[in-house]
Amino acid sequence: MARIFFFIQEAFRALRRNAAPSMAAIVTTVTTVILLGVLIPVFQTTQAKSEQVRDDLEIRVAIYDDATRGEIGALERELQAIPQVESVTLITKAAALKELEEDLGQAKSQDLLAQLHDNPLPANFRVKADDAANLAAVRAAVTPPGPDGKPRPISPIVRDIFDRQQESQQIEQVTSALKIVLTTITALLIVASLMLVGNTIRLSIYTRRREVEVMRLVGASRWFIRWPFMIEGVVVGFAGGLVAILILWLGKITIVDPLSDTFAFLAAQNSSTLSFPALVAILFAAAVLVSAIGSGITLRRFLKV
């Protein structure tokens, strides 16, 4: 126990004597943790939002107004039998008109409805694929090639098939590219953070290399020398992580939370798989571990006397 208190005293004594390198290590840790604390939620929110957009993609199979209930039921069963289809929902003419009103907004919809004497929108089936990438396959299954090789609807009551094919392709490309870019940025930031913290700790140890060499020459064991430095790294990581988490928490309650009601993108962070307390715990533990391990590893080259 006495030796543990000695190591702790030596660590704090070293921090006081080497205030500038220690402060640089703390500032580096704060910056790194803040960057990771901002990037990780952005990555999660962007991924969740892109998945939500992809899940909303669908195709519509419009049907003729004179289709009978039996024909409509038969078409619904055929659509449900397509392997890549997740769900099929019948949208009546009235429901289709209501959708149009919601899309246009109250003012525009009132102007449009005032000019219409009847509902021109057809009833349709909303067909959702099990994955946005399978939308093209579902569309091809709804209009398979006929005897002449040209696409023909699977039912004579199918009036038209409309979707946002170009938009879905763009969303697929954007979300895929976004995942790659954000994953690359996260990996580079983590590597850069480890190198930056390690170099800062190395600078702190380099200023005391003579002290380490003298201790080795008088017979001190490697771990006897290493423990104060590792405790110093823990203190640096603890202080830097604490300051960074405080800044992140203030940013959350003053900026992110008030704007969540206005911006859907910010609101999506509330439903992310990693909660804010869990993120704080991970960042705090990472800051302490990286600083402690960095101190121990960096010290190895100076122990070779």
pLDDT tens per residue, range 240-293: 888 888 988 888 788 777 766 655 555 555 555 567 788 788 888 877 877 777
- 122 pLDDT above the threshold of 70: yes
Tokens of residue 169, six digits: 């392709």
Query: C-alpha 73: how far from its chain's center?
Result: 41
User: What is the band of 201 on the pLDDT scale with cuts at 50, 70, 90?
Assistant: low
pLDDT band at residue 197 under the 50/70/90 scheme:
low
Alpha helix locations (H) across the chain?
2-17, 19-56, 69-80, 93-104, 106-115, 135-142, 165-206, 209-217, 222-251, 257-260, 264-267, 276-298
Residue 49 — very low, low, confident or very high, per pLDDT cuts 50/70/90? low
Confidence band, pLDDT 50/70/90 cuts, at residue 4: confident
- First and final CA of the chain: distance in angstroms? 29
Q: Which two tokens stand for residue 132?
A: 């946005």
- The larger pLDDT score, comparing residue 60 to residue 260, is at 60
pLDDT at residue 5 above 80?
A: no
pTM, 2 dp = 0.57
Q: Mind listing the domains of the chain with CATH numbers?
A: 2-53+172-303 (no CATH), 58-163 (3.30.70.3040)
Say if residue 85's pLDDT is above 70: yes
Give the separation between CA 284 and CA 253, rounded to whole angstroms.
19
Higher pLDDT, 280 or 197: 280
Q: What is the pLDDT of residue 227?
A: 74
Q: Is the pLDDT assigned to residue 164 strictly greater than 80?
A: no
Over the chain, what is the mean pLDDT? 75
Answer whether residue 25 shows pLDDT above 70.
yes
- pLDDT in the model for residue 304: 59
Q: Which of 13-22, 67-76, 226-235, 292-301 is the most confident on average?
A: 67-76
In whole angstroms, what is the distance from residue 125 CA to residue 137 CA? 17
